[in-house]
Amino acid sequence: MLRLFKNSEPGDKPGWFDRLKGGLAKTRTQLGGLFAARRIDESLFEELETALLSADAGVAATEHLITELRKRARKNRLENAEQLKSELHELMVEILSPLEVSIDCGAHRPLIIMVAGVNGAGKTTSIGKLTHLYQRQGHTVLLAAGDTFRAAAREQLAEWGKQNGVTVVSQQSGDPAAVIFDAIQAARARNIGIVLADTAGRLPTQMHLMEEVRKIKRVIRKADEHAPHHVWLVIDANTGQNAVNQVCAFDEAIGLTGIILTKLDGTAKGGVVAAIALARSNQASAQADRGTRQSKDAPVQPIPIAYVGLGEGLDDLRPFVAREFVSALLD
């Protein structure tokens, strides 16, 4: 079932939805603007294809959306473009709704959240924002400075810790897994609710770094056999089709449970969300084509989008709400 439209959380500063709309304004003009006062014809589908492609939806997701829309237009005997637009709206909501997830921060204590991603995606900043969000919800938080590589990464996280008034566990240098292990022990000792573990940026092509992040996860498991309870990939919304590679590569390495999509306050197109939503099913059917997977019909869960980031400030992060997102894209 689709969730009800949920614009904001209690205590939200006003205008979150407006800001999301602001970020996606350009895409909305291009995509939503197509449907004004016209009939459904071949050229409309062509223009729609073009608009989706230039919104970073990617070739595979675009083909999927167009094929599905054509089918529905025929089946429901749609006549004008406005009707097709509502159909697209519904279709997108159907595709994106499974990406919604609600995080139960009280499920474990300490709840251990590991954050990973490519360089400069917004991992450290998102951790700063999550700290603020969770504290506002009444949880206690501790940060683990697992980026022991990049210049001043530790200091950057320390700054976010200071702004939020929480402890940051770090070491002068050394092994990221060990730092995070220590942080978990410290959280236990102080009865802290949530541990957020930062990691260094890495590209999936850097095999030794992908091995390192696997090791981090293994070591976290040694500290708590059910941990990490969440493994989140941070993706910069400006990313093009490589986002799909990132999801697949990190998922394979550390088993993702969620995604944080950052920098939606810019002019990023947002269509990459569709590509991400369909990534796992496309990957699965490709595997099925090659015979490396049992069946094409086995259900594939997409990786949910836990949060979206809309700026560099403490308050600029919210849960992903499919309807809100689709409205910002289309209406």
Partner 1 sequence: MLDNLTGRLSRVIKTIRGEARLTETNVQEALREVRLALLEADVALPVVREFVARVKEKALGQDVVGSLTPGQALVGVVHEELTALMGGPSATLDLAVAPPAVILVAGLQGSGKTTTTGKLAKLLLDGYRKKPLLVSCDVYRPAAIEQLATLAAQVGADFFPSSTAEKPLAIVLAALDHAKRHYHDVLLVDTAGRLAIDEQMMSEIAELHDALKPVETLFIVDSMQGQDAVNVARAFSEALPLTGIVLTKLDGDARGGAALSVRQVTGKPVKFAGVGEKLNGLEVFHPERMASRILGMGDVLSLVEEARKSVDVDEARKLAEKVKRGKGFDLEDFKQQIAQMRKMGGLSALVDKLPAQLAQAAQSSQVDEGRMRRLEGIINSMTPQERARPELMKASRKRRVAAGAGVTVQEVNRLLTQFEQMQKMMKHMQKGGLQKMMRSMRGMMPGVR
CB 322 within 8 A of CB 100: yes
In whole angstroms, the minimum distance from the beta carbon of 31 to ligand GTP comes to: 22
**Counting contacts by CB under 6 A, is residue 56 touching ligand GTP?**
no
**Counting contacts by CB under 6 A, is residue 311 touching ligand GTP?**
yes
* C-alpha–C-alpha distance, residues 124 and 119, integer Å: 11
- Interaction mask 102-131, ligand GTP, x per CB under 6 A: ---------------x-xxxxxxx------
Binding residue for partner 1, selected from 89, 97, 204, 319, defined by CB under 8 A: 204
140 vs 242, beta carbon nearer partner 1: 242
In whole angstroms, the minimum distance from the beta carbon of 158 to partner 1 comes to: 8
CB 16 within 8 A of CB 7: yes
Find where tokens 């306050």 sit. 265
**Counting contacts by CB under 8 A, is residue 83 touching partner 1?**
no
CB 122 within 8 A of CB 260: yes
Find where tokens 């904001």 sit. 8
Residues counted in the chain: 331
Instruction: Give the closest residue to 260 by CA, choosing from 143, 120, 115, 155.
Output: 115
DSSP annotation of 318 reads E
Return all residues near 224 (Cβ < 8 A) that are at least 6 apart: 108, 112, 184
Tell me the number of residues near ligand GTP by CB under 6 A.
24
CB 192 within 8 A of CB 141: yes
Return all residues near 299 (Cβ < 8 A) that are at least 6 apart: none
Task: Enumerate residues 76-135 that contact Mg ion by CB under 5 A.
Answer: 123-124
Binding residue for partner 1, selected from 31, 56, 192, 305, defined by CB under 8 A: 56
Of all helices (H) and strands (E), which one includes residue 236? Answer: strand 230-236
In this structure, what token pair is assigned to residue 198? Answer: 């930062």
Tell me the number of residues near partner 1 by CB under 8 A.
53
**Counting contacts by CB under 8 A, is residue 173 touching partner 1?**
no
**Counting contacts by CB under 6 A, is residue 265 touching ligand GTP?**
yes
Task: Enumerate residues 239-268 that contact partner 1 by CB under 8 A.
Answer: 239-243, 245, 263, 265-268
**Counting contacts by CB under 8 A, is residue 107 touching partner 1?**
no
Of all helices (H) and strands (E), which one includes residue 309? Answer: strand 305-309
**Counting contacts by CB under 8 A, is residue 29 touching partner 1?**
no
Which one of partner 1, ligand GTP, Mg ion, none is in contact with 181 (Cβ closer than 5 to 8 A by kind)?
A: none
Residues within the interface to partner 1 (CB under 8 A): 26, 50, 53-56, 58-60, 118-122, 128, 149-153, 155-156, 158-160, 163, 201, 203-208, 211, 236, 238-243, 245, 263, 265-269, 271-272, 282, 286, 312
